[in-house]
Structure 1
Amino acid sequence: MDRYELRRQDYSLSQDQTELQATYAKFVRTRCPIEVVRAAEPAGFDKNLWEQLCGTGATTMALPESVGGDGATLVDLTLVAEELGRAIAPVPWIDHVCATRLLANLAALGSDAEDAADVVAGRQVVTLDPRPDAAEGARLIAAGSVADHIVVREGDDIVRLTFATRPAKVDNIGRLPMAWIDPAAADGRTVLASGTEALAHYERALDEWRVLTAAALVGLVEETLRIAVEFAKTRYTMGVPISTLQGISHPLANIAIVVQGGRNLVRRAAWFLEYEPGAQPALASAAYVYLAEEAAKAATMAVHVQGGLGVTTEAAASAYLVRARGWPLAAGDPGAAAVRVAELSAQA
């Protein structure tokens, strides 16, 4: 078995990747405590945190060097997504990098060099509609209230929309900067590309969104596990920590299995999407479906471990619960992705 063949089965990190993840783990730990998350809930977005994140190169790393990026792999990006998910960071990083990578593939980053540089650096936020269908009319888009450019699919066309006044944020369970976007009401509308190849690029962007969202949910689940474990170790019943009770310890052990299994699945999906996109086309959707279901279960269990304290608005566990349930819904019904997994598996 040669080294390349081995990497199809081994998803351990290189030293550079380990250092990359450690860097962003430290960043979110120091710059995005739960107080920052809570303060950003009305808007679903912390502009200061976003600017700091962009300053680390988190947006430029996602793009090829030919357009001013750093050429990071999709596996590298999952490491950043995992840390942002761990902190439930109120920034549209996943939406932005998936949209900008799509624009780069379509050779449509900006109308001029300055505009493109602003997009690459994150000074202009770009988002896309992560739903797989080409719905007509207004649609809810996760980062619609903070984006300068919105990329959507309309039939066989990939279209970029701009609005002179950003659409109003819609309240949502995931605390996202979500808004109703009506292409007919856009002040600017540019058809970027059309046809089969353009749609293939868009579908690739959706797969990347699914993989990175799944990675963020891995980080979210691991943090909910930490919150629940720390609580269980310090609460006693009949003279023993509640962590020693099977009704507590066994579900927490199951969450640990979800974290490791989900992480392996995400890295596997990212690796194949990066290097052999046609070999395992169902993996991205499979990772997304698995984490969408398991994240909600894990976050619910973390709340249950804390009892009445867990359901208070002040508890960190409750903040993780609503995002575990709400983030996957940005792409519509996760059940549609499950159907896609079945269809792609049947074709294999």
Structure 2
Amino acid sequence: MDRYELRRQDYSLSEDQTELQAVYAKFFKSRCPLEVVRAAEPTGFDKNLWEQLCATGATTMALPETAGGDGATLVDLALVAEELGRVLAPVPWIDHVCAVRLLARLGALPPGTDGAAEVAEGRQVVALDPRLDSTAGRRLIASGSVADHIVLRDGDDIVRLSPATRPAQVDNIGRMPMAWVDPAAVDQRTVLATGSAAPADYERALDEWRVLTAAALVGLVDETLRVAVEFAKNRYTMGVPISTLQGISHPLANIAIVVQGGRNLVRRAAWFLEYEPDVQPELASAAFVYLAEEAARAATMAVHVQGGLGVATESAASAYLLRARGWPLAAGDPGASAVRVAELAART
């Protein structure tokens, strides 16, 4: 048996990983109640929460030790992303860590250089364009309105843009700090990589974004289930809780299956991408497509369980529904990732 064979089928966490997830679960629960999420909706960003999150080392942990980081694995990062999604945290952590990990792989974050510490520690926010079809021209960037730097593909180049003025935020269903960005209109432009190897380097960053976004959606679905179950347990009809009715209990049971199955798929995708990226390369896209579809379905069901209350603007279920539908769209049409799954599977 090779050293990784068991881990290919084992999704259990180590003691350190369990503790890591518990620490961030406690952090987000105490610092990001729904009131904080609601207050940040106009901009899609809570600067105070971001600074507190960065102070925990959540950004530096994502980097390799050679870039001044703590060398956390993608599995570790998926645990943090799940807790972020559970509370709908209005911070661009996923975009930032995927972008800075790409910068580190390209040698653009050598320790001790100007700006490296500011980027690594989150004092300067870095955005990433996760769209498969974005290779040239103007495009929507999910964290564009709060980013100091934007990493994207421009033709055959990977470039870092540093706008002198941040672009205006564009209203969007996911309540993200989204903005239009035109690479040709940004004067401060650095080419980080070019040539035949550049697309593969960037694709790795996109796979990491898909895995971490899928992990965030697992947390979102899990919390959506909790909200719906608590309501169903305490809402009565004809003298019995509505949770006892098959039309309620069976769909909620399906959501529980989505949570466990999606979590396993995400952890499997994260493990392979971290340790054996050339084996089952379709897993990252598959996890993203599955959770993108199921999160919207689960959140819709949670709203339906609560009836008219579920669609009220003050309802927690409505907040989760908006993010469940909006977050995956940061990568454009999720169908493009589904096509990628088919293309990768056809090669094997």
TM-score > 0.5, shorter chain as reference:
yes
CA distance in 1, matches of 2:26, 2:169: 30
Shift of 1:3: 4.6
For the residue of structure 2 that corresponds to 1:180, the secondary structure is: strand
* Residues 67 and 110, structure 2, Cα contact 8 Å, conserved in 1: no
Shift of 1:110: 7.0
**Equivalent residue letter for 1:230:** E
For the residue of structure 1 that corresponds to 2:259, the secondary structure is: helix
Query: Match of 2:225?
Result: 225
TM-score of the aligned structures, taking structure 2 as reference length:
0.98
The within-5 A match list for 1:151-190 is 151-190=151-190
CA distance in 1, matches of 2:23, 2:179: 32
For the residue of structure 1 that corresponds to 2:71, the secondary structure is: coil
Shift of 1:137: 1.6
**Corresponding pairs, count:** 348
For the pair 1:254 / 2:254, whether they are aligned, the reply is yes
For the pair 1:212 / 2:222, whether they are aligned, the reply is no
CA distance in 2, matches of 1:196, 1:50: 36
Query: Match of 2:16?
Result: 16
For the residue of structure 1 that corresponds to 2:191, the secondary structure is: strand
Query: Match of 2:109?
Result: 109
Query: Match of 2:263?
Result: 263
**Equivalent residue letter for 2:62:** A
**Equivalent residue letter for 1:30:** S
**Equivalent residue letter for 1:86:** R
Q: Quick check: 193-202 or 122-131, which moved more?
A: 193-202
Shift of 1:109: 2.4
Shift of 1:4: 2.1
CA distance in 1, matches of 2:53, 2:325: 25
Cα distance change of structure 1 residues 262 and 343 upon mapping to structure 2, 3 Å threshold: same
Query: Match of 2:303?
Result: 303
TM-score of the aligned structures, taking structure 1 as reference length:
0.98
For the pair 1:144 / 2:147, whether they are aligned, the reply is no
**Equivalent residue letter for 2:85:** G
* Residues 135 and 156, structure 2, Cα contact 8 Å, conserved in 1: no
**Equivalent residue letter for 1:26:** K
* Identity across the alignment (%): 82
CA distance in 2, matches of 1:32, 1:134: 33
Shift of 1:339: 0.4
CA distance in 1, matches of 2:117, 2:221: 35
Over aligned residues, Cα RMSD in angstroms?
Answer: 1.1
Query: Match of 1:200?
Result: 200
Shift of 1:19: 0.2
CA distance in 1, matches of 2:198, 2:136: 18
* Residues 143 and 179, structure 2, Cα contact 8 Å, conserved in 1: yes
1:18-47 CA-partner distances (Å, limit 9, x unpaired)? 000000000000000000000000010000
Q: Quick check: 243-252 or 131-140, which moved more?
A: 131-140
CA distance in 2, matches of 1:84, 1:179: 22
1:275-333 CA-partner distances (Å, limit 9, x unpaired)? 00001110000000000000000000000000000000000000000000000000000
Q: Quick check: 193-202 or 223-232, which moved more?
A: 193-202
For the residue of structure 2 that corresponds to 1:4, the secondary structure is: coil
* Residues 106 and 198, structure 1, Cα contact 8 Å, conserved in 2: no
Q: Show structure 2 runs of 5+ residues with no match.
A: none
Shift of 1:184: 1.3
Query: Match of 1:4?
Result: 4
